[in-house]
Amino acid sequence: MAQTTPLINLIALSENEMTALVQDLGWPRYRTNQILRWLYQQRVLDIEAMTNLSKADRTRLEEVATIHRAVCAPPTVASDGTEKFVWKLEDGLAVETVLIPDGHRRTLCLSSQVGCTLDCGFCLTAEMGLKRSLRAHEIVSQVLTVQASLPERERLTSLVFMGMGEPLVNFDPVAEAIQRLTNIEWGLGFSPRRITVSTAGWIPRFPDIRRLGVNLAISLNATTNEQRARLMPAVNGRYDLSALLDACRHYTHFSERPLTFEYVLIAGVNDSPDDAKRLVSLLQSIRCKVNLIPFNEFPGNPFRRPEPDVIETFQGIVRQKGLDVFLRKSRGEDVLGACGQLGRSASKVLHDTLTNKKRNLPIYAQP
């Protein structure tokens, strides 16, 4: 029996790999950028739609290649307009992306892993463990498909790697995805300033992130090493609080961009006035702003959100000392779409939607 070679997924190729394919087909070099533009700027899902390739060339390309993006269930929409998308990957695993509208702004919260390498005690994704890291095209596809689902005149305004996973542990695919997202010639043309990568503190990759020109956010979440070791054991066991702060100081020394520190406020754990004072002194010599995130509760987790007056007092102390400090509104909580709530629902939502034949729900991308 003749063996059939599997089709190449065009969206899974890097620019160099696409160049090699074009060369193998005996085509001129400029065809590489033509195909890439169809994939990332026109977002086509069909080789047939690449109309500046001759009919014969399209047929030839269809013999060896295809375009496959992850399948997406229709988003669950929260009462505040936040939308949670659940994707089914080629191997059946599920991953989530959250779209956060705010006035004219459209922020997309991207996942970089299915589950997470780390074990932070306040995060639902951590409970899943790590299933696997995403590949570059699985990250870019989250942006392509969500952008395509928006009304004609709406654009995504910023991209944040704050969904499932620790992006700096999966650095190469994340960097490759950022390249495709920022490339102006054939890619999506996002300014690196509109992209933020959030890390629990994987410091060896800080210089690499700086070179990509995107923003870096650090999930600090504690003001003493003991507290951080309790809340974020895996990452703090490798790079403790003082190593993390040294790396941050070094980062701002070489970068024009200020750092963002995220601080999840948990009742009775890290929300006291003493914590607020310690936070200020830890960050004294670092050019930065601080985002306070009141803890988002989820079933089965013992932590609680502090009362509003406790949050206000905390913020007041930090602000009084001259730091730029913002309170992050919780978004999408009723669909478990807020920070730290991604994970458990993914496979269930996906199963329910993809098997719900009665309601005949649309699927954005073709399987």
d(CA 102, CA 197): 20
The contacts of residue 171 (CB under 8 Å, 6+ apart) are 205, 208
Which C-beta is closer to ligand SAH: that of 145 or that of 296? Answer: 296
Annotated catalytic residue, options 83, 96, 138, 262:
96
Which C-beta is closer to ligand SAH: that of 329 or that of 348? Answer: 329
Q: Helix (H) and strand (E) counts for the chain? A: 13, 15
Binding segment for ligand SAH (CB under 6 A), chosen from 5-13, 95-103, 136-144, 288-296, is: 288-296
User: Which residues 333-352 are close enough to bind ligand SAH by CB under 6 A?
Assistant: 339-340
CB of 339 to ligand SAH, least distance (A): 3
Indicate which single residue of 83, 96, 138, 262 sits in contact with ligand SAH (rule: CB under 6 A): 262
Tell me the site size for ligand SAH, rule CB under 6 A: 16
CB of 6 to ligand SAH, least distance (A): 33
Indicate which single residue of 136, 209, 279, 293 sits in contact with ligand SAH (rule: CB under 6 A): 293
Distance from the Cα of residue 60 to its chain's centroid: 35
What SS3 state is found at 258? coil
- Is residue 120 annotated as part of the catalytic site, yes or no? no
Which C-beta is closer to ligand SAH: that of 38 or that of 122? Answer: 122
133 binds ligand SAH (CB under 6 A): no
The contacts of residue 159 (CB under 8 Å, 6+ apart) are 107, 108, 110, 143, 181, 190, 194, 195, 196
Binding segment for ligand SAH (CB under 6 A), chosen from 22-30, 37-45, 95-103, 292-300, is: 292-300
d(CA 159, CA 214): 10
221 binds ligand SAH (CB under 6 A): yes
Identity of the amino acid at 235: V
Contact present, 291 and 326 (Cβ < 8 Å): yes
Which C-beta is closer to ligand SAH: that of 8 or that of 243? Answer: 243
- Is residue 333 annotated as part of the catalytic site, yes or no? no
Nearest to 156 by CA among 107, 101, 104: 107
Nearest to 263 by CA among 206, 323, 209, 321: 323
d(CA 282, CA 276): 10
Distances in Å between the Cα of 190 and the Cα atoms of 137, 140, 186 are: 16, 12, 11
Overall residue count recorded for the chain in this entry: 367
227 binds ligand SAH (CB under 6 A): no
Which C-beta is closer to ligand SAH: that of 75 or that of 343? Answer: 343
Contact present, 76 and 335 (Cβ < 8 Å): yes
User: Which residues 185-204 are close enough to bind ligand SAH by CB under 6 A?
Assistant: 198-200
User: What x/- string results for residues 294 through 313 when contact with ligand SAH is judged by CB under 6 A?
Assistant: -xx-----------------
User: What x/- string results for residues 17 through 46 when contact with ligand SAH is judged by CB under 6 A?
Assistant: ------------------------------
> Any idea which residues carry the catalytic annotation?
96, 339
Binding site for ligand SAH (CB under 6 A): 122-123, 162, 166, 198-200, 219, 221, 262, 264, 293, 295-296, 339-340
